[in-house]
Amino acid sequence: MVPMRQKFIPNMDFDMESYQFQMLFYQVEGDMCLKIIENGNHKDIFIREGEMFLLPARIPHSPQRYTNTVGLVIERKRLKTETDGLRYYVEESTDVLFERWFHCEDLGVQLTPIIQEFFSSSQYRTGKPNPDELLKVTPFPLNATAVMDPFSFQDWLNDHRKEINQKKSLSIFGDNFETQAVVHGPGVSEGNQKNADIWIWQLESTSAVAMDGKTLTLTAGDSLLIPAQSTYHWKRSEGCLALYIAQDPTRKRPYA
């Protein structure tokens, strides 16, 4: 789980970040706007309260959050081989004004000097890029896919409640994504996710997770982070609905 960030920038341009993995958004309270570049065009994705949205990897994005809103953003740890990109664009265009590429270990710490560098740059003062500072070939190609529409998570649960009870679990996005988002109903699971942390969010009723000699009971609204390499036993009561999320980098799809 990564803390959410807010950045305030001048109207003449705006910044966007590009990651090599998917990001899962869910708005708990209030609405937000996720600005993206979709196949070479600017687009605003409005994620309303109670809505969920999965952002594909390698799509430039800029979250715009407002006062008195609460949202979840779930993203995995970077691999040592992965690079993040931060770009400022000239207003109302996809022309790159300023960019920096870096391996991210602490985004909150590492972004600050890059932002300060931009505000001190000739690009900021003039609004014109310096061609000598722009990469001819970026560390990874941007994704040209069309993104999904945000959807009401509660409506999805209501529509699939019977199927979840019958199958005991149901994937929200299917099996072709790096992000595994699965809603579990009553039942028992034994697990050991070797390559990724697991986040469990108890939605309805209760469940119990036994791990490292301890048993934790989850009631509606509780959440639990299970570290990678952990072995656990998960028992879910009648009427249980619980969201299971894991982002395993070994499921990362190759570039097209």
Residue written as token pair 């656990």:
232
CA separation for the pair 208, 244 (Å, rounded): 14
Look up residue 125 and give its two tokens: 């003062």
pLDDT in tens, 3-51: 233 333 333 346 788 889 999 999 999 999 999 999 999 999 999 999 9
pLDDT in tens, 106-124: 888 998 999 999 999 999 9
Position 142 in a domain = no
Query: Average pLDDT for residues 231-241, to the nearest whole number?
Result: 97
Position 6 in a domain = no
Whole-prediction pTM value? 0.89
Residue 49: which of 147, 182, 181, 153 has the closest Cα? 153
- Confidence at residue 7, expressed as pLDDT on a 0 to 100 scale: 35
| Domain count for the chain | 2
DSSP state of 193: -
Question: How many residues would you count in the chain?
Answer: 256
CA separation for the pair 234, 217 (Å, rounded): 10
Position 5 in a domain = no
Domain enclosing residue 177, as ranges: 152-251
The whole-chain average pLDDT of the chain stands at 90
Residues 161 and 229 occupy one common structural domain: yes
Q: State the number of CA atoms in the 13 A half-sphere of 84 facing the CB.
A: 20
Strand order in the sheet with 231-236: 187-192, 231-236, 206-211, 214-219
